[in-house]
Copies of this chain bind each other. A is one copy, B any other.
Amino acid sequence: MSKSSDAVHAILRQSEGFRSAQDIFTKMRADGAKIGLTTVYRALQSLSDDGRVDMLRTDDGESVYRACESDVHHHHLVCRRCGHTVEVAGPDVERWAEAVGAEYGFTEVTHTVEVFGTCPDCASAAGSR
């Protein structure tokens, strides 16, 4: 479970934003790698389990992955046009989620937070379109 995982991880590290499994598979094949789609999924799964990549679901239900830059809990600011991603720490949000959970007596509180927007580059590109 390691050579392929490393290869997949390498692809992610040299990518800017989030990429889908199929996307990664296509790129690796284009690069000449002899890898199967199944293996890509398995690699992504284990990388995700190990916390070495972030995974989130797009609005249309597709899972997308990205190499983490930091291994501490964090969230993402994602450009909805180009996929460019910034990792953001949000201590305020963490506290808020905990507080909300506690207010209603919920335990084992987790949360998902993603912020989407249009990045400066894409905004100016769109403006001149």
Contact = CB atoms under 8 A, between A and B. Distances in A.
Interface of A: 57, 59, 61, 63, 77, 79-80, 86, 88, 90, 92-93, 96-97, 100-101, 104-120, 123
Give the oligomeric copy count: 2
B115 A97 contact: yes
B120 A106 contact: yes
A121 B101 CA distance: 14
A107 B117 contact: yes
A119 B93 contact: no
A90 B79 contact: no
Contacts of A111: 113-116
B77 A104 contact: yes
Contacts of A107: 117-118, 120, 123
A44 B90 CA distance: 33
Nearest to A117: B106
A118 to B, nearest CB: 5
Contacts of A57: 57, 59, 61
